[in-house]
Amino acid sequence: MTSLDDLPLRDDLRGKRPYGAPQEEVRVSINVNENPYPVPEAVATNVIQKIARSLPGLNRYPDREFSELRERLAAYLGGGIVSEQVWAANGSNEVLQQLLQVFAGPGRTVMGFGPTYSMYSLLAQGVGSEWIAAERDEDFELSPESARRAVLAHRPDVLLLCSPNNPTGTPLSLETIRAAYEAADGLVVVDEAYGEFRPDGMPSALELLPGRPRLVVSRTMSKAFAYAGARLGYFAADPVIADAVRLVRLPYHLSAITQAAACGALEFSDVMLSQVDLIRAQRDRLVTEIAALGYRVYRSAANFVMFGGVADPAAMFQEFYRRSILIRDNGIPGCLRVTAGTESETTLFLEALAEITRERPELKA
């Protein structure tokens, strides 16, 4: 059988591994930060009707500029953002890929602050760029001074800032984002995939867009909108950034069905987001109760929690898996990550953690 080693791959891709997370049939799946609630019936009905109306026209290419979708995304974001500032693609990963195709590439650098979303380095490698992982402060925080210092030291062509950060949950202050932007010469992308889960009163980087033409704020409908299976990501930026992305996007990259499904959900955005407070409550519950069991819990503004104080993360992961509970081992020493699920899912996780801590005390550092 032919192997990858037998193929004429690019040299810089040899030995690499594709992104992946376990997909197993278990009773509790809280490992990939999905929204645990299904699409509400009223929304599903509206989406089906929107898709049905698009079906007779599938013999024609879809609206290349997805005008209605951009208008609805701009209205959802608010704050004076207009459709010309918005761009969308098949998930936020494709949004980021398109941005890197334009602003990164061979001979250029892409920087983030590790540990961060593992796809960043893969996307950078995919366009032939060098990936730079700058260091965070203690407890995975990032101050304006640290951000400025790292940007000035490395001068990246593209800076990726994940806020709240995956896998740590750590949010970035507007002061930190502002400091990074002022120090940078290239594009600065703030990935707010988990932005809707921020605590009340915590601002979005969208507030910084006016007057900053190199700033991009990326979002997704996968998390808070419970739309992971629909694959719809988007960004807001100066209109010229959308013009730039048109240089590399594939023709008609958003299908008519994808556009209809996204528009149908955005028409019911208040219903789609009705479960966010429930998820935030379970996140806060995880923070409190994991800490009560003696583990180190890191600050989170997302729909997941990372906790440390685990002597053997791989062994503890297996203990949860043995109980048909799937969490995430991200390879960060002494740490594991768990998504905030429904109240019952969170209860099952916490009961399992207490049981594992009691029965396998050697797994707790």
346 vs 341: CA distance, rounded Å: 6
* Amino acid symbol at 56: P
Calculated CA dihedral for residues 196, 202, 208, 209, nearest 10 degrees: 10
268 and 40 Cβ atoms separated by less than 8 Å: yes
pLDDT at 22: 65
Does this chain's domain 4-30+275-363 share its CATH topology with 41-269?
A: no
150: which 2 tokens?
A: 């790292």
CA distances, 232 to each of 12, 175, 205, 257, 271 (Å): 29, 29, 20, 11, 18
Q: Answer whether residue 4 shows pLDDT above 90.
A: no
Confidence of residue 25 (pLDDT cuts 50, 70, 90): confident
69-86 pLDDT per residue, tens: 999 999 999 999 999 999
Q: Give me the mean pLDDT over the 359-365 stretch.
A: 95
- Enumerate the domain spans of the chain: 4-30+275-363, 41-269
151-176 pLDDT per residue, tens: 999 999 999 999 999 999 999 999 99
Domain 4-30+275-363, CATH class in plain words: alpha beta
Q: In the chain, what percentage of residues exceed pLDDT 90?
A: 92
Confidence of residue 20 (pLDDT cuts 50, 70, 90): low
219-235 pLDDT per residue, tens: 999 999 999 999 999 99
Contacts of 186 (CB under 8 A, 6+ apart): 103, 155, 156, 157, 158, 159, 214
209 φ/ψ angles, rounded to the nearest 5 degrees: -60, -45
Contacts of 192 (CB under 8 A, 6+ apart): 163, 164, 204, 205, 206, 217, 218, 219
Q: Is CATH 3.40.640.10 what the domain over 41-269 is classified as, yes or no?
A: yes
Q: Answer whether residue 11 shows pLDDT above 90.
A: no
274 vs 281: CA distance, rounded Å: 13
258 vs 228: CA distance, rounded Å: 12
179 vs 4: CA distance, rounded Å: 43
95-143 pLDDT per residue, tens: 999 999 999 999 999 999 999 999 999 999 999 999 999 999 999 999 9
185-220 pLDDT per residue, tens: 999 999 999 999 999 999 999 999 999 999 999 999
When the pLDDT of each residue in the chain is averaged and rounded to a whole number, the result is 95
Confidence of residue 12 (pLDDT cuts 50, 70, 90): confident
Q: In whole angstroms, what separates CA 72 from the centre of its chain?
A: 21
Q: Measured at the alpha carbon of residue 59, what is the angle toward residues 53 and 62, in degrees to the nearest 5?
A: 70
Residue with tokens 């791989």: 314
159 φ/ψ angles, rounded to the nearest 5 degrees: -110, 125
Across 130-156, b (16+ Cβ under 10 Å) vs e yields bbbebebeeebbbbbebbbebbeeeeb
Confidence of residue 31 (pLDDT cuts 50, 70, 90): very high
Q: Please, what sign has the CA dihedral across residues 340, 344, 346, 348? A: negative
Q: In whole angstroms, what separates CA 56 from the centre of its chain?
A: 34
Q: Answer whether residue 17 shows pLDDT above 80.
A: no
